[in-house]
Amino acid sequence: MDIQSTKKFQVLIIFLFPLFLFAQTVDSSNHYNYNWNSLALHAGVGLQRSAYLEIGTSYIYHNFNSRQGFVNGILFTSFEWTPIKNIYGIKVGAEYGYNLSMLCIDLKYQFRNSTKDLVITPKIGLGLGLLSLYYGYTISTSKYPFPSIGKHQFSMTINFTRKYFEKINTKTK
């Protein structure tokens, strides 16, 4: 072999070696996959200078793959109340979770007497879809008219449906 052929062979080995290294036979007998969707109770608590409560409904799509983990897609709507200053809000949003990572965005119309605000809050957090912990940053469209509601938000949400527990019980039997 000449030097040119040797270099081509080395380059070929360098590019093909990872394919040989990671090539494996997949045993499909141990692999399982399931998915479901359900309506659920959506509830949450949070802190953004003042504490707030929220309650509403959600629609959950859940997919589990034994090789890759689980994915949750959640659409929700809720009513929010900040009891210290009696600020109310109507909220719609979406959550997306892949294994323990969660992303959320919600749009909230909040009001008290004649003061109104439309707020967008992107959030990032940890959770399972059933229970999630978030950090969010609120973006006001009216220059933050409520001083008791800050820009930073910590929250915990629960999307409660029996479907989460049905799959746990069937897999442990």
Q: What is the 3-state secondary structure (H, E, C) of 32-55?
A: CEEEEEEEEEEEEEEEEEEEEEEE
Examine residue 87 and state whether it is found in any structural domain, yes or no: yes
Examine residue 139 and state whether it is found in any structural domain, yes or no: yes
Flag whether the pTM goes above 0.85: no
Examine residue 28 and state whether it is found in any structural domain, yes or no: no
pLDDT in tens, 68-119: 888 999 999 999 999 998 999 999 999 999 998 999 999 999 999 999 999 9
Res. 14 pLDDT band, cuts 50 70 90: low
DSSP reduced 3-state for 1? coil
Examine residue 23 and state whether it is found in any structural domain, yes or no: no
Spell out a b/e string for 104-141, using b for 16 or more CB atoms within 10 Å of the CB, else e: bebebebebeeeebebebebebebebbebebebebebe
Examine residue 24 and state whether it is found in any structural domain, yes or no: no
Q: Which domain holds residue 52?
A: 33-172
Examine residue 122 and state whether it is found in any structural domain, yes or no: yes
* Angle 36-37-40 from CA coordinates, rounded to 5°: 130
Number of independent structural domains in the chain: 1
Q: What is the DSSP pairing of strand 87-98 with strand 33-65?
A: unpaired
Domain holding 168: CATH number?
2.40.160
pLDDT computed for residue 133 by the predictor:
96
Examine residue 53 and state whether it is found in any structural domain, yes or no: yes
Examine residue 16 and state whether it is found in any structural domain, yes or no: no
